[in-house]
Every structure is written in C-alpha cells, then in structure tokens.
C-alpha cells in the first residue's frame, strides 16, 4: 500500500476542529446505512476529524454479532457483483450446453436420410417396429415449447404405423416450425417401446376442437401424435398415444437454445416417463436404460358434488373445498388404466387416459391421486389424450370428445374451455 | 416562526401516523398508550426532522424501528412486560458484544453490568429514575444502538484509565526516556502546508475519513470497509488512488506557487520533520546498522537547502 507524504500525515492529524459528537443513535444509523445522505456526509466529515468517534464506530462494528470476517463478507460481496453473477450463469449454461451436445453425439444416430426414407414409405407399422429402440429421446423444456417436434426414429416408426397420419403430422409440424418457437417436451422411449410423440409443454391458446380428434384403438401399434397437431380420425386398430413430457429426459439437439439446455441438464436427474403401446405407464430412473411399470388403479368414479367439485363417497382423503376438484388418493394397484398422455416435471406427474382417467402424483409416481375435473355441473368426459403443464399451477387437459379443460391452481379447480 | 411551523408540521404528521405506527409497533402489549407513542414520535421528529417538511417527517417516522423504539421507551417507562422482553432478547447479546469489545471476560462483564444499570435507570434525576433507553430514537436497530453505547462506554473508560497510568508503570515501559514532544512543530515550508491543506479540503468527507482511519488509526482495510459499508477491495483501491492523487495535487499546487518540479518533489519527500523523526529513531535504536545515519541525513538537509 502506498505511503502518504509525512506532510499529509501531519495535516490529517491537525484536521478541522471537532464539534458536536454525533450521539449513539446517529452513529448506529451511520453504521447501518440508514441515515439521510446529508446526515451521512455530515457524520463522515466529523469522523474524518474525530479519532474518538472513529474508535467507537469501529468497536461497535467489531461487536456485531454474527459478523463474518471481512474476507468472508468480501467473498460474498464479490459474488454479489452482478457482472460476476451473470458471468457464472453464462459459464454454467455454456458448460451444460457442451455436455448435452457431447451426450447427444454419443447416442446412436438415426440419420435424417433414414427418416426421410421412412416418411416417404407407405409401409404400415408392424409389431416388429415396437422392438426397434430409439435412443433418441428428444426433450425440450416445457416453458419454451409450443411447437412439437418429432424424433427422427419416432417419426420413422410412426410413419410405418400410419403413414398418412404421420405424413400429415410431419407436414403440419414442418409448417409450424417455420413460425413457432421450438421446444416441446419429449420422452425418451423405453428400449422395448416405440417412440412416442412430443407435446408442447407450454399451454398455447386453445386449439380448435376439430384438431383434437383422436381415436382410441386396441392394437399395440403406435402413432405419433401431438397435442398441437390436427390429426384425422385414426383407423381402427390404431392406438394413439400422446406422450407429453415435462422437462424430462435426455439431451436436446444441438440447436436447442442455451436456455433450454440449462434446465434440461437439471432435468436429467428426474425420472423419465413413458407410455407403452398397451397404454401402460412406465418410468425410468436411469435415463431410459431400464423401465418399470407403474400401475395406477382407477378408483371408484367420484360422485359429483356441485360446481367445480368432485367428491368420492368413501375414499376421499382430503376435505372438500368449495370450487376445487377433490382428489382421491390411490395407491398403485393392479388395475391399469389405458394411458394416453403423461407429463412430468420432476416428481410431479400428470397422466391421463381412457374413461376420463386423470391421475396426479407428487412423489414421482409412488402414490397417485385421481382427479376428475368438473365445472358448472359438467365433468370431463372421454379419453384424456393430452396433458400439458407449463408450470406446477397451469395446465390443460384435452380429451377425445373433444374437450379442453384448464387449471391455474395445480388441479384444484378446473374450467372447461 | 420557523420553529412554530416545524412544530405544527411535526404534530400534523404525528397525528396522521400514530394509529398506524401504534399497531405496527405492538405498543399495546408493551404498556404504551397511543398518546404516549405520539409523544415519543414528536420528540424523535423534532430531533431528527431535518428541514421539517411534512414529506421528510413522514419518511423519517416511517423509517424508524418502531417496534424497538416502543420496546425501549416502554422499558424506560418502567413497564415490566417490556423489560422482560428486553432481557430475553438482548441480555446475552449485550454480554457477547461487551466481550468482543473488551476481549476479556471480567472487563466485559463489568462493561455489560454497568450498561445494564444505566439502561434500567438506577440514576435518579429529580427523584425520577432516568433510563438510558429513553434516549434511543429508533434511527438504527436497538441491538446496534446497544453496541454503540457499549463502545462509547468502553472508549470513555479506556481514556480515563490511560490518563491515570501510574509513574511506576511509565518507568517500566521506558517512557521517561523518551524525549518530550516538541511544543511546536518545526516550521515547514508554508507553501507545502497550504497546498496540502487545500488538497485535503478538496477531498470528499468519506475519502478523508478513509485516509485518517488507515494512516492515523492504523485500521485494517477490512475494518474500514465495514465502517463505510463497501467491499474491502474498494477500500484498497481507494487508498492507493488517494495516496497517488494527493501527491500529484500537492506537486501541482507547489508548482503553481512558484516551486520548480525538483524543489516540489524534494519538499514533499524530504520533510524536515521526517528527518527529526529519523534521527530520534536512530538514536534510540540498539542495532549497529546505519553507522552514521545522522551524517547521511545532514547531507540531505544541505542538499535541500541548496
């Protein structure tokens, strides 16, 4: 540290005459930065000349309880600098993006050419295709999505199952890609299952009802379908599955925005969800290497109890709240529902399927609660074919009838669109 | 006239805010009445109200630590509930603060106990118990105020104790061997003094305070940073910058007063008082280093005077 000339030393010591020491209230307020600016300047002028008051301030600050050493406070303050905070955030995003790109590169590649060939092919999907694994789990973040995207392998498989539908979907998706931001959520399919579609995680404006026609089916074959897609009536024997994934699964394509990769990396740690061709729910804790069946029993259909409420007769575990949907707690039991849509955000899962089945879990699928949206005496009907939650509070459910139901309080109450 | 105007502005603002602040402060459970609180607020507003505009007064009163102010004043008024709350919240903290200041257990206890007595109000004035808590105005936190009062008490004690150091202690420390301080400083070049004073006067108060705390008090950068609520590295940079800029300003000022650059630098670097200090230090040293320091110094003086 540079020394000052002795003359400066002497003149500082001489200083101005000290008048009127500030009282303890003012000195305390000075130390706590709660003085007016004019008062602060006045106190500083006094402190510059008064050794005793400087001593008092220094001692009072020394005695501050829980005061950390200045070096620690300095280190905290260092990280408080906005520039450094942003710098670290940016560096983190870059590292995550590089990691995801690297991870993506290491996945088995389904080339674009194969996809293109399959798209043009008129081969029906066969059961054999169900065994074709696609490790291309394309996932995007819910907050960024309104444009569904199809994994190459999923498109190939979907195309084989229902060429016309897939082509239409692909055409529509290509059109939408030009105008809408990307980022639907996707699932990584189980190794033994066909790749399913993706769905926008962000609830967009309601899609016209005509675009929501979905046909149920019994065959194990699967078609790709997105909630944003206008799909024609599926031929009999086809089963539509809508995989709506929240912020799940694997690395994104390299062209995904940094904002998406940032959250995607955090998502990699969450269990992944999928729906089998038979409508079963599955989850994976090891990023799709192995999958477990998750069986959710359909509890007795809840009875209606007024506007916006659904009650169960015997098994309700929550007190009815006016205007809210009552949830029936159910444990995973042996009666499967034919699921058509699932969306997940961490441990919060929404899954929907046949017969107005809509289930909610907040513990990663260990326990489920059935939810029956209702409003103005009307309850949800049909098969749930799409579930979208942009955040834990705001979600939309689409059925096969078609109906669109939305919630803004995490499923406590629902409105029919 | 101005006082009357200020008083009426104070009353107007106090009347406006009393109900709100009474609720906010929890005064009821402490035993304070709304009228009592209004009186306290008027006193604080009169004391710290600044120019007296209603806006300033309103801002001041709303910025007070109203709950702690009510507690302190209720204690000062002798309300037992308030005192129990005060003891619960502050007794241990007060002792710990005293320990950090005094750094020694018995001194800390004595310091804390003395303050407790003052806070409780063992002093009587006109037959009335006078509590130090009655002087708390809520501008800062009550805990911070207690630490400041402790520090004030400690500084006062230390100064009293210092004045009473015995002659035996002085001789043990060798103080009697130290040459007496000069009664008057040697006359430095008046131009140097004036220029230095001008340079220092041109500094903001905060910069002057930082310089005095660092160079006169010997405070660490961390301590100074805490005093002015900035980062330690800011203080480090500031001290360096100030030292350099002061030197430049003084040299420029000396040049304006007719000194050549060389003369100005010599005047700045070779202060006569520096030489005196060096000689004294050399004479009191036991080491054999610097065989003829005095001669070297004298040579420099001759050069300076040339």
CA distances A98 to A263, A276, B142, B204, B237, Å, are 13, 32, 52, 50, 38
- Tell me, what's the pLDDT at A25? 96
In this prediction, residue B44 carries a pLDDT of 94
Model pLDDT for residues B132-158, shown as the tens digit of each residue: 999 999 999 999 999 999 999 999 887
pLDDT at A296: 83
Percent over 90 (pLDDT), chain A: 13
Q: In what helix (H) or strand (E) does residue A384 lie, and over which residues does it extend?
A: strand A384-389
Contact B209 A44 (CB under 8 A): yes
| Cβ contacts of A82 on chain B, cutoff 8 Å | none
pLDDT at residue A149 tops 60: no
Greater confidence (B302 vs B228) lies with: B228
Query: Average pLDDT of A386-415?
Result: 89
Q: Tell me, what's the pLDDT at A185?
A: 42
Of the candidates A48, A63, A70, which has its C-beta nearest B208's C-beta? A48
pLDDT average, residue stretch A380-396: 89
Is B101 in contact with A59 (Cβ distance < 8 A)? yes
Q: Is the pLDDT of residue A307 over 70?
A: no
Tell me the pLDDT tens digit for each residue of B159-206.
666 665 555 555 555 555 555 554 444 456 788 899 999 999 999 999
| CB-nearest partner of A4 from B63, B155, B246 | B246
Judge whether residue A308 has pLDDT over 70: no
Query: Is it the case that residue A87 has pLDDT exceeding 90?
Result: no
Considering only residues B141 and B50, tell me which one the structure prediction assigns the higher pLDDT: B141
pLDDT at B43 > cutoff 90: yes
Output the pLDDT for position B83. 92
In the predicted model, is pLDDT for residue A396 greater than 70?
Answer: yes
What is the predicted pLDDT for the residue at B296?
Answer: 42
pLDDT (mean) for B231-237:
93
Is residue A113 pLDDT above 90, yes or no?
no
Cα three-residue angle A169-A172-A175, rounded to 5 degrees: 150
Please say if the pLDDT value at position A69 is more than 60: no
- Amino acid B152: pLDDT: 94
Higher per-residue confidence, A255 vs B52: B52
Which residue did the predictor score with more confidence, B114 or A183?
A: B114
Encoding tokens for residue A48?
A: 């510059």
State the average pLDDT over residues A192-215: 44
Q: Which residues of A touch B140 (CB under 8 A)?
A: 25, 28-29, 31-32, 34
Which candidate, B75, B5, B17, places its Cα nearest to that of B41?
Answer: B17
Q: In the prediction, which pLDDT does A378 show?
A: 86
Please answer whether residues A229 and A174 qualify as being in contact, where contact means their C-beta atoms are separated by less than 8 angstroms. no
Å between B297 CA and nearest CA of chain A: 16
**Least confident stretch, A274-283, A291-300, B236-245:** A291-300
Average pLDDT across chain B, whole number: 81
Q: How high is the mean pLDDT of chain A?
A: 66
- Which H helix or E strand runs over B101? helix B80-102
**Stretch among A168-177, A204-213, A261-270, B31-40 having the lowest mean pLDDT:** A204-213
Supply the pLDDT for residue A107.
72
Distance from CA of A83 to the nearest CA of B (A): 15
pLDDT at A120: 53
Task: Give me the DSSP letters along B120-138.
Answer: HT-EEETTEEE-GGGG--S
The Cα A24–Cα A2 span in angstroms is 34
Give yes or no for residue A323 having a pLDDT over 60.
Answer: no
Q: What pLDDT, on the 0 to 100 scale, is given for residue B202?
A: 92
Instruction: Extract the tokens encoding A122.
Output: 């008129």
Judged by average pLDDT, the poorest of A170-184, B211-225, B238-252 is: A170-184
A267-294 in b/e form (b: 16+ CB < 10 A) is: bbebbbbbbbbebbbbbbeebbeebeeb
DSSP output for A220-261: S-EE---TTS--PPPPTT-EE-EE--SS-SSPPPTTS-HHHH
Question: What is the nearest CA distance from B275 to chain A, expressed in angstroms?
Answer: 11
Of A7, A12, A25, the CB nearest to B268: A7
Residue A98 CB partners (closer than 8 Å, separation 6+): none
Per residue in A3-40, pLDDT (tens digit) is 888 888 888 888 666 778 999 999 999 999 999 999 99
Closest CA to B217 of A42, A22, A53: A53
ipTM, two decimals: 0.80
pLDDT tens per residue, range A335-380: 568 888 999 988 889 999 988 899 999 888 888 889 989 888 888 9
**Touching check for A24 and chain B: CB below 8 Å?**
yes
**Residue B176's pLDDT is what?**
53
Question: Least CB-CB distance to B145: which of A6, A28, A57?
Answer: A28
User: For residue A245, what pLDDT is reported?
Assistant: 43
Question: Contact at 8 Å (CB) between A74 and A224?
Answer: no
DSSP state of A147: B
Average pLDDT over residues A70-85: 55
Domains of chain B with CATH codes: 1-64 (no CATH), 81-165 (1.10.1740), 190-269 (1.10.10.10), 276-306 (no CATH)
**Predicted model pTM:** 0.48
Residue A382, SS3 per DSSP: coil
* pLDDT reading at B108 higher than 70: yes
pLDDT of residue A214: 40
Closest residue of chain A to B277, computed from CA coordinates: A6
Q: Smallest Cβ distance to B205: which of A7, A41, A63?
A: A41
Band (pLDDT 50/70/90 cuts) for residue B297 is: very low
| Cross-chain Cβ contact B192/A48 below 8 Å | no
Spell out which residues of chain B touch residue A51, defining contact as CB-CB under 8 Å.
212, 216-217
Question: What pLDDT is recorded for position A6?
Answer: 85
Distance CA B240, CA B238 (A): 5
Q: For residue A401, give every residue at least 6 positions away whose Cβ sits within 8 Å of its Cβ, in sequence order, or none.
A: A381, A382
| Distance in angstroms (rounded) separating the CA atoms of residues A223 and A197 | 8
Tell me the chain A residues in contact with residue B188 when contact means C-beta distances shorter than 8 Å.
7
Query: In angstroms, how far is CA A260 from the centroid of its own chain?
Result: 10
> Which residues on B lie below 8 Å from A54 (Cβ)?
209, 212-213, 217, 219, 227
pLDDT level of residue A85 (50, 70, 90 thresholds): confident
Question: Where in chain A are the domains?
Answer: 6-67, 110-416
Is residue A20 classed exposed, middle or buried when 0-12, 13-18 and 19+ CB atoms within 10 A define those classes?
exposed
- What percentage of chain B carries pLDDT values higher than 90? 56
Q: Which residues of B touch A47 (CB under 8 A)?
A: 205, 209, 212-213
Instruction: Give yes or no for A69 touching B (CB within 8 A).
Output: yes
Q: What band does A276 get if pLDDT is binned at 50, 70 and 90?
A: confident
The residue in chain B having the minimum alpha-carbon distance to the alpha carbon of residue A70 is: B222
| Closest by Cβ to B225, choosing from A12, A63, A70 | A70
Asked if B200's CB is within 8 angstroms of A11's CB, the reply is: yes
Q: How far apart are CA A162 and CA A167, in angstroms?
A: 8
Distance CA A404, CA A209 (A): 8
């Amino acid at each position: 540290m540079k020394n000052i000339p002795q003359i400066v030393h002497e003149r500082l010591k001489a200083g101005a005459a000290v008048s009127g020491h500030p009282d303890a209230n003012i000195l305390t307020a000075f130390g706590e930065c709660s003085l007016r600016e004019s008062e602060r300047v006045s106190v500083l002028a006094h402190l510059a000349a008064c050794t005793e008051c400087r001593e008092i301030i220094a001692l009072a600050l020394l005695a501050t309880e829980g005061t950390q050493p200045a070096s620690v406070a300095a280190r905290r303050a260092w990280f408080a600098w906005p520039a450094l905070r942003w710098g670290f955030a940016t560096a983190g995003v870059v590292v995550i993006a590089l990691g995801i790109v690297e991870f993506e590169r290491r996945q088995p590649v389904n080339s674009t050419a194969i996809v293109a060939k399959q798209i043009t092919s008129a081969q029906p999907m066969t059961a054999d295709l169900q065994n074709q694994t696609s490790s291309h789990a394309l996932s995007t973040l819910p907050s960024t999505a309104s444009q569904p995207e199809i994994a190459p392998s999923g498109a190939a498989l979907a195309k084989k199952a229902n060429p016309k539908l897939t082509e239409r979907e692909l055409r529509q998706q290509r059109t939408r890609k030009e105008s809408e931001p990307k980022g639907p959520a996707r699932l990584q399919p189980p190794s033994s299952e066909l790749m399913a579609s993706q769905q926008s995680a962000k609830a967009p404006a309601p899609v016209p009802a005509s675009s929501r026609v979905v046909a149920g089916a019994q065959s194990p074959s699967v078609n790709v379908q997105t909630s944003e897609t206008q799909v024609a009536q599926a031929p009999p024997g086809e089963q539509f599955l809508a995989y709506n994934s929240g912020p799940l699964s694997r690395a994104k394509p390299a062209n995904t925005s940094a904002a998406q990769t940032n959250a995607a990396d955090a998502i990699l740690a969450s269990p992944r969800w999928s729906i089998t061709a038979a409508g079963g729910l599955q989850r994976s804790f090891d990023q799709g290497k192995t999958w477990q069946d998750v069986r959710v029993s359909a509890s007795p259909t809840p009875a209606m109890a007024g506007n916006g409420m659904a009650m169960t007769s015997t098994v309700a575990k929550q007190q009815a709240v006016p205007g809210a949907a009552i949830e029936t707690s159910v444990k995973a039991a042996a009666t499967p529902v034919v699921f058509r849509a699932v969306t997940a955000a961490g441990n919060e899962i929404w899954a929907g399927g046949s017969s107005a089945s809509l289930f909610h879990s907040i513990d990663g699928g260990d326990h489920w609660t059935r939810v029956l949206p209702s409003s103005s005496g009307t309850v949800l009907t049909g098969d749930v074919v799409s579930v979208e939650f942009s955040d834990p509070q705001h979600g939309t459910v689409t059925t096969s009838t078609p109906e669109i139901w939305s919630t803004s309080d995490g499923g406590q109450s629902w409105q029919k669109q | 006239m101005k006082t009357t105007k200020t008083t009426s502005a104070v009353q107007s603002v106090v009347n406006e805010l009393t109900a709100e602040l009474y609720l906010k402060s929890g005064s009821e459970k402490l035993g304070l009445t709304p009228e009592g609180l209004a009186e306290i607020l008027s006193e604080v507003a009169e004391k710290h109200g600044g120019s007296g505009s209603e806006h300033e007064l309103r801002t001041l009163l709303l910025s007070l630590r109203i709950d702690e102010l009510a507690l302190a004043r209720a204690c000062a008024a002798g309300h037992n509930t308030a005192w129990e709350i005060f003891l619960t919240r502050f007794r241990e903290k007060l002792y710990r603060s005293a320990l950090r200041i005094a750094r020694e257990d018995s001194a800390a206890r004595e310091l804390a106990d003395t303050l407790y007595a003052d806070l409780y109000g063992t002093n009587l004035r006109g037959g009335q118990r006078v509590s130090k808590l009655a002087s708390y105005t809520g501008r800062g936190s009550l805990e911070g105020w207690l630490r400041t009062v402790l520090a004030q008490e400690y500084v006062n004690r230390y100064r009293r104790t210092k004045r009473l150091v015995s002659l035996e202690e002085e001789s043990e420390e060798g103080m009697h061997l130290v040459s007496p301080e000069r009664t008057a400083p040697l006359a430095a070049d008046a131009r140097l003094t004036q220029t230095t004073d001008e340079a220092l006067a041109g500094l903001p108060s905060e910069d002057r305070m930082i310089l005095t705390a660092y160079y006169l008090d010997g405070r660490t950068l961390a301590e100074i940073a805490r005093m002015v609520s900035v980062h330690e590295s800011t203080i480090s940079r500031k001290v360096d910058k100030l030292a350099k800029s002061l030197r430049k300003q003084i040299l420029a000022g000396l040049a304006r007063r007719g000194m050549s650059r060389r003369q100005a630098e010599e005047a700045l670097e070779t202060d006569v008082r520096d030489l005196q200090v060096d000689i004294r230090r050399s004479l009191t040293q036991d080491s054999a280093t610097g065989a003829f320091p005095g001669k070297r110094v004298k040579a420099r003086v001759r050069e300076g005077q040339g």
